[in-house]
Amino acid sequence: MTTVGILGGGQLARMMALAGAPLGLRFLVMDNVADACAGQFAPMVVGDYRDEAALAEFASRVDVATFDFENVPAESARWLTDRVDVFPNPRALATAQDRLAEKTRFRELGIPVPPFAPVDSLDGLRSAVEAIGTPCILKTRRLGYDGKGQFRIRETGDIDAAWTALGAQADKVGLILEGFVHFDRELSVVAVRARDGEFRAWPLTENWHVDGVLSASLAPAAVDPRTHERAMDYARRLAESLDYVGVFALELFARGDELLANELAPRVHNSGHWTIEGSETSQFQNHLRAVLGLPLGDTRMVGQACMLNWIGKMPAAAAVLAEPGGHWHDYGKQPREGRKVGHATLRADSAKELADALSRVGAALGRQAQVAPVIARLR
């Protein structure tokens, strides 16, 4: 009996446990809160990620360890590697945890990025804004997610307000200034790399964000084959350079013919949730296969798919359940503003059928604004 340990007990760990059940796997989840939603499906060790006693107990009970949460301290991941196999490796995790290291790595690999500069003082911010130009975005280097820890600088007059908002973070987590990209689309590559280096990716996904949080994903993204190939090539290069094992997502901005890398998520990713019903093998199962050294599953799509995120609280399930290609995912979390509490995936054999299903669901749930950009893309 193999036990997979997962650091972080959110919905990603929960969906991993569900995907691992048919493989006969057992799971142990470590989280710093006892009511983490993966705990409804797997035993837990509750403890801080820096607590060596808790980490030691976790390590002693698992055969391999992985993450649902990328901000597990890299030192804790390194500490674990002396006791158990850990995938992805702590070096990959550390790179993805720091926006400066990540963007520097992209650039070294010849993957285009928006202009960026580290910032450690108000004067430094002024010179960085001068060099990069406006509009631009000041971000924390570490611990930011879903648009948190970001301040948009529209003109030089916003510099003081940006420093008031984030300046205190400069000494704690560091800051980075990035040029604002007027993108046409946001895309992501969700890919998997096996222990023996085999690389596979799902078709490119198009994503829509609201207030920095993912709202909808559509796969396959309607892009020309050359753009598709280039995105796959960037993801492959990145994974090889980090000796990455497992699933990851590379978030990209598309502007005209250009693709610019935004960030690397060193784990299964929200923009890959559609793979559960929309592809031959889900991102969750392929992640487990990769970390366990099993053959990777086919990433081919089954029809077309759109995922809608439920943020704050769950809507009524009936409209989605009534759709022939409708799939419901309730993460079993308490409602809270801004929190990802569930998602739905709609699957269909044609763009028209998918657009019609989205239109019915959007109208039934009063979520026309959420489905509108996806429908516009499909029609």
Binding site for ligand AMP (CB under 6 A): 114, 137, 144, 147, 178, 180-181, 186, 209, 212, 251, 262-263
Residue 24 beta carbon to ligand AMP: minimum distance, rounded to whole angstroms: 36
- Considering the complex, state which of residue 153 and residue 292 has its C-beta at the smaller distance from ligand AMP: 153
Show the tokens assigned to 368: 């026309």
- Considering the complex, state which of residue 144 and residue 272 has its C-beta at the smaller distance from ligand AMP: 144
Q: Using alpha carbons, select from 152, 151, 12, 137 the residue that is nearest to residue 71.
A: 12
Which DSSP string corresponds to 8-20? --SHHHHHHHHHH
- Considering the complex, state which of residue 195 and residue 255 has its C-beta at the smaller distance from ligand AMP: 255
Q: Are strands 213-219 and 3-7 parallel, antiparallel or unpaired?
A: unpaired
Neighbouring CB atoms inside 10 A of 225's CB total 7
Show the tokens assigned to 184: 């046409």
Residue 251 beta carbon to ligand AMP: minimum distance, rounded to whole angstroms: 6
Q: Using alpha carbons, select from 331, 286, 326, 320 the residue that is nearest to residue 11.
A: 331
Q: Is 56 exposed, middle or buried (0-12, 13-18, 19+ CB in 10 A)?
A: middle
- Considering the complex, state which of residue 35 and residue 130 has its C-beta at the smaller distance from ligand AMP: 130
Which DSSP string corresponds to 262-284? EEEESS--GGGTTHHHHBSS-HH
Residue 270 beta carbon to ligand AMP: minimum distance, rounded to whole angstroms: 11
Residue 372 beta carbon to ligand AMP: minimum distance, rounded to whole angstroms: 17
Amino acid at 252: L
- Considering the complex, state which of residue 145 and residue 328 has its C-beta at the smaller distance from ligand AMP: 145
Q: Using alpha carbons, select from 10, 117, 69 the residue that is nearest to residue 266.
A: 69
Residue 268 beta carbon to ligand AMP: minimum distance, rounded to whole angstroms: 16
Residue 147 beta carbon to ligand AMP: minimum distance, rounded to whole angstroms: 4
- Considering the complex, state which of residue 58 and residue 69 has its C-beta at the smaller distance from ligand AMP: 69
Distances (CA, A) of 9 to 3, 12, 46, 71, 117: 15, 7, 10, 13, 34
Residue 186 beta carbon to ligand AMP: minimum distance, rounded to whole angstroms: 5
Contact criterion met (CB below 8 Å) for 191 and 239: yes
Diameter of the chain by CA atoms? Answer: 61
Closest residue to bound ligand AMP by CB: 181
Amino acid at 215: S
Residue 206 beta carbon to ligand AMP: minimum distance, rounded to whole angstroms: 12
- Considering the complex, state which of residue 135 and residue 332 has its C-beta at the smaller distance from ligand AMP: 135
- Considering the complex, state which of residue 273 and residue 347 has its C-beta at the smaller distance from ligand AMP: 273
